[in-house]
Amino acid sequence: MNENGIGAAVRRKEDRRFLMGRGNYVHDISRPGQVHAVFVRSPHAHAKLRSVDTEAAAKAPGVIAIYTGADIVTANLKGVPCAWGIVGKNGKPMKEPAHPLLAVGKVRHVGDPVAVVIAETPGLAQSAGELVAVDYEPLPAVTGADAAVKAGAPLIYDDVPNNLCCDWAIGDKAVTDAAFATAAHIAKVDLVNNRLVPNAMETRAAVAEYDPGTEDYTLYTASQLPHVARVLIGVLILDIPEHKFRVVAPDLGGGFGSKQVVYAEEAIVTWAAGQLWRPVKWVSDRSEAFLSDAQGRDHITHAELALDKDGKFVGLRVSTFANIGGYVSTFGPNIPTNLYGPLLAGPYTTPAIYCEVKVVFTNTVPTDAYRGAGRPEATFVLERLVDIAAREMELDRVEIRRRNFIAKGVFPYQTPVMLQYDVGDYEATLNRCIELSNWHDFEQRRRQSAQRGKLRGIGMTTYIEACGLAPSRLAQQLGARGGLFESANVRVNPTGSVVVFTGAKNHGQGHETVFAQLVSTMLGVPFDKIEVVQGDTARSPFGLIRVWLAGAARVTPSLAQIVDELAWRLLAAGLPVMRVTLSISTLHPQFLGASYVWWLPTQRTVEVMIGHEVGELIPYAENPVLRVREGGETIRRRIDVADDRLDFPVLHDLKAGGGTDFLALPIPSGQGRRNYLAYVTGRAGGFTEDEIVSLSSVAEPLAIATDWYSQRLIATNVLNAYLGPKTGPKVLAGQIRRGSGEEIAAVLWSSDLRGFTAFSDLVPGTRVIEMLDTSFDEQAKAIESHGGEILKFIGDGLLAIFPAEGEAGAAQAAANALAAASQALAATRKLADGAREPGQAPLPMVVALHYGTVLYGNIGAARRLDFTVIGPAVNLVSRVEAVAKSLNQPILVSDDFARVHGGQLRSLGFHQLRGLEKPHELFTPETPAEG
């Protein structure tokens, strides 16, 4: 229990600084020596840029630099990238024209940036900006998505016919049309979901600085997704590697989606800071925000709902024009498609749905994520249709929804538009909503209002949200160009306080409070001892690979899967690996270790067990695995060289497989051991030095995951070797306390060698062990292949059980045990026949079998246990074995065994067993095993 933990109504941690004026928004950040940027923007929706003359502006007071589209082209800066591409009908990818940081040749919307002026103060930059002379040749413009696709509409891009970015669809058209053909009623609606401006209270802002000494960039930016900004602005636009680019999103004055978009302005101030060696600050003013922040919605939709005579939905057809503005924005095309069509099922059982979306360029500010992003648009369409259908069919609004809800009992429910719902109880939610809203008293309230001359209305809507677009693999199938995931580090300080580092960025939701509550509950640490740090790429985890290894990788079920996932993640991160090998030591009696090899051409990871002999076959000097594991070396070899320069045999194979570069490095493991990690690339020229750094950086976090597995494997192998494959896992699973045992019925096996004492007196000790090993090997093979489990070796004796469940199980266990005994005897006899001199052959053996109930579990001293069996049955079987020796019978079984065995056995009469009162009848198999 925790008074401030999950579910408690605590006061927010972040409030104090906001209430005291101590928040830290980008607007508030000033860096020493900073200069100020102001953008010159197009006043035209569509125009050719004849010329941009900066001469007069450059002479204005305080001006430090002016950059235009030409400078961006000269500097070879990439355009603003799209992070989520879409694929239309017939697999046709969307049109994705370049989005230059500053307009080149043409402007495509009012506000399109044409130049940036950087000056000592914002005022001076503003004044100079007014002196930039831009010669525009206005072109006809089109702003409506439906108008833009019509023949003859002005073309925003010469090579995008009809301004159609993508003709997208989801669902089965034929099935849906068929449903409409037989419908009792069709409700129709035409809707305009108007464009809007997100307008966070804090306008966008950025301060960038560059350290010429370390060549590091820092960007303070009002971003909801600082990690995404780092990759898109740093790596994709400016070619600054991630480790040289820190993005800090401090307190954020609202975002609503518009601040998760990556924009040209932030990229330009970052680049300019590197050019000028002075911090550059830009703060959007409110009017500018209307012209440059990504906007929301802007759909024109015609939709139809088909119903049967009872008001059950049988089909839904939706056709939408989605306006994405003048450029493809970061997530722009994805919003009215992947985040729209799949939500059209809502909470209803509509069996056939078809939705097509024309994603259209116009001369407007680009649209992107805004509050719900696509999903409220889908809800609006669906719920308007439901209300219209209810009215037209004279059904109650509540009733028509109830009739069509997906019932509580049918989850998981597969919709006809891709999504599968895991769980839901819409009826219960609706009932609660009706209760809370006093829905049924509404008519009374309406009448009361009418008496006062007022109009009163009430509305109802359902809403299905698809949040957290994951897992990454699915997101990528939908066109996401990066993994979508979140991660956090929780650091416990030496004196007990806790810091939570998250990649998620708060912009008003109260993460500092909620995450602290979660951690408080989970760790039992007081709420006020927990601090949440977010929004700084240098402090908080991205999680792309390193964090995955330290976290999620450990819940990955096997090392093979870890290697597989690691390889794909490395590829996704741009590291050109062709083969990834992880080799771990397993302390297995038969194997030196296990290797997991991922190989790009097969797209698979295979597990290879390495025998101890491999270490002996390839000498140390030529064996990279041994040199890494035992010598701790890091080995780098270019493979694209002459054969005589390849100093490891394995490199020849890798070269033949198309490899060009090889890197092997040690992964630290417990108790001074090392594991082995190797990469091969097939890229011409091999790995770059930066890639070597990145690939090497994986070793340490990988060690955590690897060690966990290898320790577990070692424990399993050691326990299985000493306790057996059935008992080992029981002990490992926690059955390690004395007294924790169970009564089981089993066939007991007791075997011994004849003449062992004499033999061991005559031959040297190592020869004795060799002989014993040979004999035990054969017995073990026979026992284990027949479902038995060896419990212990006592000198030359062996105790094993064949567990039996029920009567049928007992018969089976008896048959198995007898078969195993015959096999072991035959095998040892064969070895004896083949032996060239006495002393090489295994001694003859006897096996006694008995059926009984034993206590199976931990027995021993409190701190030193044996996992074995005890009970009178154990005594009995060893007595039978003694008789077998004296009778010179290789196989002798008890009366209880004979009873459950049920088959043909030859009685050898009653025998008095030592220490037992009554004589027991003993048997041997009908066909004597020893001939």
- Strands 891-893, 845-861: parallel, antiparallel or unpaired by DSSP? parallel
36 Cβ contact partners less than 8 Å away, ≥ 6 residues apart: 118, 119, 120, 121, 122, 124, 125, 280, 281, 282
Q: Which residue, 775, 774, 767, 762, is CA-closest to 846?
A: 775
Considering the complex, what minimum distance in angstroms separates the CB of residue 24 from other proteins?
8
Query: Which 267-286 positions form the footprint of other proteins (CB under 8 A)?
Result: 285-286
Considering the complex, what minimum distance in angstroms separates the CB of residue 252 from other proteins?
6
- Please pick, from the candidates 83, 134, 165, 200, the single residue that binds other proteins as defined by CB under 8 A: 200
Residue 405 and residue 426: Cα distance in Å, rounded? 7
Cβ proximity to other proteins: between 29 and 870 the closer is: 29
- Please pick, from the candidates 101, 164, 238, 252, the single residue that binds other proteins as defined by CB under 8 A: 252
Considering the complex, what minimum distance in angstroms separates the CB of residue 23 from other proteins?
5
Cβ proximity to other proteins: between 291 and 900 the closer is: 291
Q: Are 121 and 34 in contact (CB under 8 A)?
A: no
Place of tokens 């997100």: 198
- Please pick, from the candidates 16, 612, 645, 652, the single residue that binds other proteins as defined by CB under 8 A: 16
- Please pick, from the candidates 27, 278, 401, 726, the single residue that binds other proteins as defined by CB under 8 A: 27
- Please pick, from the candidates 217, 256, 348, 897, the single residue that binds other proteins as defined by CB under 8 A: 256
The interface region with other proteins, picked from 505-513, 692-700, 722-730, 918-926 by CB under 8 A, is 505-513
- Residue 162 identity (one-letter amino acid): N
Q: Are 898 and 848 in contact (CB under 8 A)?
A: no
Q: What are phi and psi of 393, to 5 degrees?
A: -95, 5
Considering the complex, what minimum distance in angstroms separates the CB of residue 507 from other proteins?
6
Considering the complex, what minimum distance in angstroms separates the CB of residue 196 from other proteins?
12
- Please pick, from the candidates 201, 436, 455, 467, the single residue that binds other proteins as defined by CB under 8 A: 201
Query: Which 202-221 positions form the footprint of other proteins (CB under 8 A)?
Result: 202-203
- Strands 353-361, 313-325: parallel, antiparallel or unpaired by DSSP? parallel
Residue 410 and residue 415: Cα distance in Å, rounded? 12
* Site for other proteins contains 437 (CB under 8 A): no
Place of tokens 């990229």: 267
* Site for other proteins contains 291 (CB under 8 A): no
How many of the other CB atoms lie within 10 Å of CB of 486?
14
- Please pick, from the candidates 375, 505, 507, 879, the single residue that binds other proteins as defined by CB under 8 A: 507
Considering the complex, what minimum distance in angstroms separates the CB of residue 602 from other proteins?
50
Q: Are 845 and 824 in contact (CB under 8 A)?
A: yes
The interface region with other proteins, picked from 18-26, 85-93, 332-340, 459-467 by CB under 8 A, is 18-26
The interface region with other proteins, picked from 163-171, 332-340, 508-516, 748-756 by CB under 8 A, is 508-516
- Reading the block at residue 718, the tokens are 């050691």
Alpha helices (H) in 393-523, listed in sequence order: 397-404, 426-436, 442-451, 472-477, 511-523
- Strands 205-211, 280-283: parallel, antiparallel or unpaired by DSSP? antiparallel
- Please pick, from the candidates 7, 21, 152, 412, the single residue that binds other proteins as defined by CB under 8 A: 21
The interface region with other proteins, picked from 108-116, 136-144, 253-261, 913-921 by CB under 8 A, is 253-261
* Site for other proteins contains 526 (CB under 8 A): no
Considering the complex, what minimum distance in angstroms separates the CB of residue 518 from other proteins?
18
Cβ proximity to other proteins: between 287 and 448 the closer is: 287
Cβ proximity to other proteins: between 15 and 805 the closer is: 15
Residue 31 and residue 281: Cα distance in Å, rounded? 9
Considering the complex, what minimum distance in angstroms separates the CB of residue 228 from other proteins?
20
* Site for other proteins contains 166 (CB under 8 A): no
Residue 744 and residue 737: Cα distance in Å, rounded? 18
Q: What are phi and psi of 281, to 5 degrees?
A: -115, 140
* Site for other proteins contains 18 (CB under 8 A): yes
- Please pick, from the candidates 2, 34, 126, 199, the single residue that binds other proteins as defined by CB under 8 A: 199
Judged by DSSP in three states, 385 sits in helix
* Site for other proteins contains 14 (CB under 8 A): yes
* Site for other proteins contains 682 (CB under 8 A): no
Judged by DSSP in three states, 906 sits in strand
The interface region with other proteins, picked from 149-157, 200-208, 723-731, 775-783 by CB under 8 A, is 200-208
**Half-sphere exposure of 870 toward its Cβ, with a 13 Å CA cutoff?**
8
Cβ burial, residue 575 (10 Å; 0-12/13-18/19+): buried
- Strands 488-492, 35-41: parallel, antiparallel or unpaired by DSSP? unpaired
- Please pick, from the candidates 71, 112, 209, 251, the single residue that binds other proteins as defined by CB under 8 A: 251
Considering the complex, what minimum distance in angstroms separates the CB of residue 16 from other proteins?
7
Q: Which residue, 623, 632, 635, 626, is CA-closest to 668?
A: 632
* Site for other proteins contains 250 (CB under 8 A): no
* Site for other proteins contains 15 (CB under 8 A): yes
Q: What share of the chain is helix, strand, coil (3-state, %, to 5)?
A: 35, 25, 35
- Reading the block at residue 593, the tokens are 């270790």
How far CA 427 is from CA of 348, 404, 424, in Å, comes to 11, 10, 9
The interface region with other proteins, picked from 22-30, 188-196, 415-423, 491-499 by CB under 8 A, is 22-30
**Half-sphere exposure of 481 toward its Cβ, with a 13 Å CA cutoff?**
16
* Site for other proteins contains 8 (CB under 8 A): no
* Site for other proteins contains 28 (CB under 8 A): yes
The interface region with other proteins, picked from 6-14, 69-77, 136-144, 706-714 by CB under 8 A, is 6-14
How many residues interact with other proteins (rule CB under 8 A)? 34
* Site for other proteins contains 20 (CB under 8 A): yes
* Site for other proteins contains 62 (CB under 8 A): no
The interface region with other proteins, picked from 9-17, 75-83, 597-605, 766-774 by CB under 8 A, is 9-17
Q: Are 675 and 669 in contact (CB under 8 A)?
A: yes
Considering the complex, what minimum distance in angstroms separates the CB of residue 82 from other proteins?
27
- Please pick, from the candidates 123, 138, 468, 649, the single residue that binds other proteins as defined by CB under 8 A: 123
461 Cβ contact partners less than 8 Å away, ≥ 6 residues apart: 379, 383
DSSP string covering 223-257, please? -S-HHHHIIIIIIIII---GGGEEEE--B-S--TT
- Please pick, from the candidates 6, 8, 22, 130, the single residue that binds other proteins as defined by CB under 8 A: 22
How far CA 572 is from CA of 22, 405, 569, 602, in Å, comes to 40, 40, 5, 17
Cβ proximity to other proteins: between 281 and 546 the closer is: 281
* Site for other proteins contains 259 (CB under 8 A): no
Q: Are 667 and 702 in contact (CB under 8 A)?
A: yes
Considering the complex, what minimum distance in angstroms separates the CB of residue 365 from other proteins?
18
- Strands 530-534, 498-502: parallel, antiparallel or unpaired by DSSP? parallel
The interface region with other proteins, picked from 19-27, 137-145, 431-439, 643-651 by CB under 8 A, is 19-27
* Site for other proteins contains 468 (CB under 8 A): no
* Site for other proteins contains 130 (CB under 8 A): no
- Reading the block at residue 857, the tokens are 């579990």
Cβ proximity to other proteins: between 11 and 864 the closer is: 11
- Please pick, from the candidates 69, 171, 250, 253, the single residue that binds other proteins as defined by CB under 8 A: 253
Residue 820 and residue 916: Cα distance in Å, rounded? 28
- Residue 376 identity (one-letter amino acid): P
Any idea what the Cα angle at residue 404 is, between residues 400 and 406, rounded to 5°? 145
How many of the other CB atoms lie within 10 Å of CB of 410?
11
* Site for other proteins contains 510 (CB under 8 A): yes
Which residues of this chain interact with other proteins, rule CB under 8 A? 11-12, 14-25, 27-28, 30, 123, 199-203, 251-254, 256, 285-286, 507-510
